[in-house]
Amino acid sequence: MEEDRRSAPGGRVVVLTVVALLVVAVCCGLGVWQWQRGNVVISEPPARQPVVPVGQVVDAGATGADRVLSSDEVGHRVEVAGTFDPAVDLLVPGRALDGVVGSWALGVVVLADGSGVPVVRGWVPPGQSAPALPAGPVDLTGVVQPPESSDIAPSTDALPPGRTWIVSAADLVNRVDYPVANAYVTDAAPPAGLRAVPPADPGQATRRLDLRNLAYAAQWWVFALFAVVVWFRAVRDERREAGQDDPGPQGEPGAGPVSDGGRDMSGAR
């Protein structure tokens, strides 16, 4: 019985330790799960988001050619409603599609506010001319793309009238007398004689922090820390109780020097 009494506290400590480890593991795991959910919340890429009027993404009337598109705007599907400017009917040579080098047909749609949005109408095979610009109002759907830099131009040679090396507001503002958006739209459904140009940049999914999930993660980690504190105190109490129950030198718990009528007999011979 004495051996069972001595081993009981040690057994309880083992049980407490196992339970504490399980609680800490579960709390830490749930905390990591909430952290992963809250640290990066991925929204739909712009190309899969609903179509919106182009003015909600590209505002040429307010900012003109100096505006820089954000990552959320590049690749967004938009509706362009207006009229093609008959004075801007351009070809952009040196553009490949399915391994064949042809040209892009480029125009500018003038919106209701008087600003212009460059539109790549489609791809033209080599040796062919682009269909004429449509007369009257148009309503097309396309994908917003960032302006091109002069660095991508295949040549610095001057081109004949009606051609340009790049699609950029910096070039187009010299051809028109109204503000032009510092972006362009690729027509998703070009007319006969043209092939759709795939967007070079479909846009990226956006990421942001979700503070609610991060708070949940912190709570789970606090619970894990609390479990460690409870385990430590429980083990400490078990050891204290075990020390008090240890038999003394006379074989009884807590036995010490035996007294006789108040006299200390510990030194009696």
pLDDT digits (tens, 9 = 90+) for 29-47: 998 888 877 766 455 556 6
Q: Residue 26: its pLDDT value, please?
A: 93
Whether residues 194 and 106 share a domain: the answer is yes
Does 131 lie in the same domain as 68? yes
29: in domain: yes
Q: What is the mean pLDDT of the chain?
A: 80
Distances (CA, A) of 119 to 38, 148, 151, 213: 39, 13, 21, 42
Identify the pLDDT of residue 268.
46
Do 107 and 232 belong to one domain? no
Question: Is 255 among the domain residues?
Answer: no
pLDDT range class, residue 20, cuts 50, 70, 90:
confident
N- to C-terminal Cα separation, the chain: 32
Do 65 and 163 fall within a single domain? Answer: yes
Task: Read off the pLDDT of residues 80-122 as tens digits, 9 standing for 90 and up.
Answer: 999 999 999 999 999 999 999 999 999 999 999 999 999 999 9
Identify the three-state secondary structure at position 173. coil
Residue 157 belongs to a domain = yes
Q: Are residues 95 and 215 in the same domain?
A: no
Number of domains the chain is built from = 2
Per-residue pLDDT averaged across 245-257, rounded? 52
Model pTM score: 0.59
* Pair 153, 218 in one domain: no
The predicted model gives 213-234 an average pLDDT of 89
What is the number of alpha carbons within 13 Å of residue 45 lying toward its C-beta? 10
Residue 265 lies in a domain: no
Q: Check: CB of residue 228 under 8 Å from CB of residue 155.
A: no
Based on the domain organization, do 181 and 107 belong to the same domain? Answer: yes
More confident residue, 36 or 248: 36
Strand partners, 96: 101
- Whether residue 259 lies inside any domain: the answer is no
Note whether 222 and 177 are same-domain residues.
Answer: no
181 falls within a domain = yes
Both 225 and 162 in a single domain?
A: no
* 266: pLDDT strictly greater than 90: no
Grade residue 25 by pLDDT with cuts at 50, 70 and 90.
very high
Q: What pLDDT is recorded for position 110?
A: 95
Residue 140's domain comprises 46-205
